Every structure is written in C-alpha cells, then in structure tokens.
Amino acid sequence: MSALQQLRTMTTIVADTGDLNAIARLKPIDATTNPSLITKALMHPDNQGMLSETMSHHSGNIDAVIDSLTIQIGCDILGLIEGRVSTEVDARLSYDTQATIDKALSFMETYQKAGIDSDRVLIKMAATWQGIEAARYLETQNIHCNLTLLFGQHQAIACADAGVTLISPFVGRILDWQKRQQNRQNVPASDDMGVQSVKRIYQNYKQHDYRTQVMGASFRSTEQILALAGCDLLTIAPNLIDELATIDAEVTQQLSPSMSMDIADMTKVSLTREEFSAAYQQDKVTQDLLPKGIDSFIGARDELAQMLAAMRS
C-alpha cells in the first residue's frame, strides 16, 4: 500500500482546500476551508457565474455576498463528501464573542435552509479567548466548532475545557517560526516544534479522556504528516495528499490513545481568563503567530471584497 493508503487506516484524512475539482478527485471524508482558500476558489474562472448571481441577489452588499458565497462553497463541498465541512466566520470577529456567536448562528440557519444537517458542519473560529468562549456556548446549542490558528498548549487546554468538537493546531507555521528563530534551513521531525506541539496536545487529551478531537493542520511536508500518523484527523493540502500517494514506504503509527498512556502523566488543568492571558504572554510562538494568522485571513477576505467591488462597478 502507498503511504496515503496506510495513513488512512490510522487517521481520518481531510482535504484542506476549497477546490471542488480536487475534492471530487481525492474523495476525502471531510474538508476544511478558510478565507484564503475560499478566496482562491472563488477567483477560479469556473465560479464567475456564481459570483455574478450572488452579487445580484444581495444588491452588492459585499459582506453579505462573501458570507453567501462561503456557505455556497460549503454546500457544494458537502455534495462531494460523506463527512463534514469546516466553515470559518469572519476573522475580524476573532476578539468579539457575541459577534462570533451571532455569525455562527446565521451560518447554521443558512445551511439548514439549504437542507444541510447541522452535524455535517463545523463552525471555524480563531482560538482566542473570545473565540473559545463563543465555541463553549455554541456547543451547548449542538453547533459543532473547529478552533483554528492554534499554536499553544494553553489554547488547546482551554478548547478542551470548553468542550469544543475539534481543534486545528498548526504545524507548518510553527516550523516556519522555528526556522526563522533558530536560523535553520532543515529541521527533522524529531526536533520540529510544530510536530512535537501536536503530539503533546494529543497525548494530553487522550490521558484525560477529553472528547475534543485533534486535527493537525498547516503542513509543509509529508515528513511532518507521517510524524503524526495516528492523530485523530489530519487536514492536508491536495498537493501533499498526491505526494503521499506516490510514496512506497512503510508508515509507522506514531500516536494512539494507548500509546499516550505509556508516557509520563500530564497534569489536568483548567485555565481562567487571567491564567490564559498569562500563558499567552509567556508563549512567544502564539504571541507572534496568532495575530498574524488573523490578519492574513482578514487580508484574504479583503482581497475578495476588492474583487467583488470591482465587479460591481
């Protein structure tokens, strides 16, 4: 079997793309999107008709158009897969709990009007304190959440304590940060801060029987992916999925609930808002990458907004 086939026996493989053609070809269980991926997908020539129709329907209200297009892409993806799609709320709301809740409720209402079962949608938001608190409430309303832009253990602890369905710790962006800080070109998986961070989160969750699942994200190489074989889920860009399909080598499982019990016990903790803030102030990786990640998603939405404004004029 190829590395991809072996990996699928250990881990749920998720396609990290808004490209409908890629999803139809790869046939993943689930798919994840973010503002950057949505923008890329909607700029494809095949989607110009949908753009024009949606613009007309919403009388040129750009925010309403972007939200509608985001849901439409989600519905189209769900028509191609058996599982769930992750749909991200506007990153500008990342520090506003109530606005995030309101946007999530609006998204779910639109999905339900389109005939989509709520269990097939994960509402995605940044793992700020405010985002996590929004997810805490939404989960009580049976709205499942995927907390993204997760770089630190304190974020993971708070997400598990809030009972969120899924977290997406970013592997590649942490590695990028590590390379810059350490002035290194190559970092093996055994020393990869992104890989090791996800392993610690997974082990902590399994030791304490948290229901929150771990989905490794933001990969730079197949080496990183295979170093996390056995993680609950891994969301992977199409080019790396294709590369895994060409690798003819034995894949060794790296993570499992039982393996997590064999390492030193991790203390179970809960964090108040003050403790979360203090941990954030001590975590240089998250301090650097979380705001930049939010800004990049805002930038992608702005890029799409500018394109739509140009179409309107």
Integer angstrom CA distances of residue 59 from 160, 293, 307, 312: 41, 31, 16, 9
Q: What is the token pair recorded at 272?
A: 């108040």
**What is the 8-class DSSP label of residue 44?**
S
Residue 124: active-site member: yes
Pick the catalytic residue from 103, 124, 199, 206.
Answer: 124
What is the C-alpha separation between 111 and 174, in angstroms, rounded?
33
Q: Distance between CA atoms of 158 and 271, rounded to whole angstroms?
A: 6
Residue 275 is encoded by which pair of tokens?
Answer: 């403790």
CA distance 168 to 215: 5
In our burial notation (b when 16+ CB lie closer than 10 A, e otherwise), range 253-281 reads ebbeeeebeeeeeeeeeebeeeebeebbe
Q: What is the DSSP letter of 221?
A: -
Residues noted as catalytic = 124
